[in-house]
Amino acid sequence: MKVLLVGSGGREHALAWKLSKSKLCKHLYIAPGNPGTAQFGTNVGINDNDIEGLVKYAVEKKIDFVVVGPEDPLTLGLVDKLEEKGIKAFGPHKAAAALEGDKAFSKKMMQACSIPTADCQVFSDFNEAKAYIASRDSGVVVKASGLAKGKGVYVCSEPSDGILAAEKIMVDKIFGDAGDQILVEEKLIGQETSILAFVDGHTIYVMETSQDHKAIGEGDTGPNTGGMGAYSPAPVCTDKILSQIQREVLVPIVDGMNRNGSPYKGVLYAGIMITAGGPKVLEFNARFGDPETQPILMRLKSDLLEIMLAVVEERLDKITIEWDPRPAVCVVVSSGGYPGDYEKGKKITGIENAEALEDVKVFHAGTRFSADGELQTSGGRVLGVTACGKDIAAARERAYEAAAKIKFDGAYYRRDIGDKALK
């Protein structure tokens, strides 16, 4: 099969690595890809939100199967457009991707399906939002309703901080149109876990659990990022809790989307807060998480392309998926200043030394080649250094040993990824 993978981040490097191993994959194309994905296929100079360009390329190249990595092309309807041309594509249709692209819609679906989640109010007017937040006597979570690259969520300890967050989103428009509407939620207390599942519209297959680290600073301090590291499995999500999440979250939302006339097919990501009162949904995403994908795919032993085909062809119940029992830890190495302003074009060295370590893979995210072939930084999250080990402690030690071998000016990474699992 000729396979086209859409996207350019660390998630896509991990997907390219795994897809290239499939016996079904004759040739892999990645649009636009990055220096890491180029090791496993042909990078194509088409932006991941250029829907018309991607469809045209897929038709001209006689692509057999398209895997859509990021959320933007999903919410723009890339899967729908490809299927109109008779091309199979992995990912939800535009209407189903609204579970991520429109948080107000997602919240309505959760309420309609009686899914446990935080109490919430939706606002389109800043003054109304300000008045409501000011009336609260405890912390709040303020979210942009649209897509904001994982950064549109503010966890505020005081209502006054919530008002400032709402002003940034709705008045200052720091996320553009994504902030036309906001959600103001109660602040849930507990530990987060990321639950990713393959869904073919009817059958749900839950992957190995994971936990992301959103905040830039150690101890979960500072502003939220796209994710500073992740590990799998997440011990906080016990078998009993996972069973409850399947029963009270995944099955109801898949059934609800079917009743809504927008069946869900692809990867469904549920961000869960495990509270004293049980698991509650923080958000749904319509694709693989980043950086959760990196440790999860390090542990996947089965053929990823075969699984994705089974999802698209609605025969997920007919296949068996195998996992490496060993845990994996991913440490994100970022540019200094991220998630705020940061400089690009810093020379990167040491990746080969890092990957020389056993069970280590370094996934490119924000990297590029200069005109003279030098590997440089080009984004906030630069690399995802991922390692397996006999237990979380061993995987974590190896990931940090590898991360220490990578050098570029301003390189930063949290040094507490996986601490919660060890505790």
Nearest CA to 257 out of 374, 96, 147, 74 is that of 96
CATH 3.30.470.20 segments of the chain: 191-318
What is the pTM assigned to this prediction? 0.93
Note the pLDDT of residue 243: 98
pLDDT at 258: 97
Q: Label residue 132 exposed, middle or buried (CB < 10 Å: 0-12, 13-18, 19+).
A: middle
Q: Evaluate the omega torsion of the peptide bond into residue 159 and state whether it is cis, within 30 degrees of 0.
A: no
CA distances 2 to 28, 66, 183, 299, Å, are 6, 9, 42, 25
Q: In what order do the strands lie in the sheet with 191-200?
A: 204-206, 191-200, 265-275, 278-285
Specify the fold of 2-93: Rossmann fold (3.40.50)
pLDDT at 151: 79
**pLDDT band, very low/low/confident/very high, at 308 (cuts 50, 70, 90):** very high
Confidence label for 35 from pLDDT (cuts 50, 70 and 90) = very high
- Is it true that domain 191-318 has CATH number 1.20.1070.10? no
Q: Average pLDDT, stretch 144-164?
A: 89
Q: Does residue 149 register a pLDDT over 80?
A: no
Domain with CATH 3.40.50.20 in the chain: 2-93
374-410: pLDDT as tens digits: 999 999 999 999 999 999 999 999 999 999 999 999 9
Pairing relation of β-strands 182-186 and 140-144? antiparallel
Asked if omega into 279 is within 30° of 0 (cis), the reply is no
The separation between CA 161 and the C-alpha centre of its own chain, rounded to angstroms, equals 26
Residue range(s) of every CATH 3.30.1490 domain in the chain? 125-180
Confidence of residue 152 (pLDDT cuts 50, 70, 90): confident
Q: What is the mean pLDDT of the chain?
A: 96
Would you say domain 125-180 falls under CATH 1.10.150? no
- The answer on pLDDT for 238 being more than 80 is yes
Q: What is the mean pLDDT of residues 187-191?
A: 92
Question: Start-end ranges of CATH 3.90.600.10 in the chain?
Answer: 328-422
Q: What is the mean pLDDT of residues 120-147?
A: 93
The C-alpha atoms of residue 155 and residue 368 are separated, in whole angstroms, by: 33
Find the mean pLDDT for residues 150-177.
92
Measured CA to CA, the distance from residue 184 to residue 133 in angstroms comes to: 8
Q: How far apart are CA 229 and CA 36, in angstroms?
A: 18
Query: For the segment 352-365, what is each residue's pLDDT rounded down to a tens digit?
Result: 999 999 999 999 99
Mean pLDDT value of segment 263-270:
98
298 residue type, one letter: M
Does domain 328-422 match CATH 3.90.600.10? Answer: yes
pLDDT at 14: 98
DSSP strand pairing (381-388 vs 328-334): antiparallel
Q: What single DSSP character describes residue 335?
A: -
What pLDDT sits at residue 281? 97
- What is the structure's pLDDT at 150? 73
pLDDT at 82: 98
CA dist 111 and 100 (Å) reads: 15
Q: Which parts of 207-317 are beta strand (E)?
A: 211-212, 215-217, 221-224, 229-232, 265-275, 278-285
Q: Are 71 and 151 in contact (CB under 8 A)?
A: no
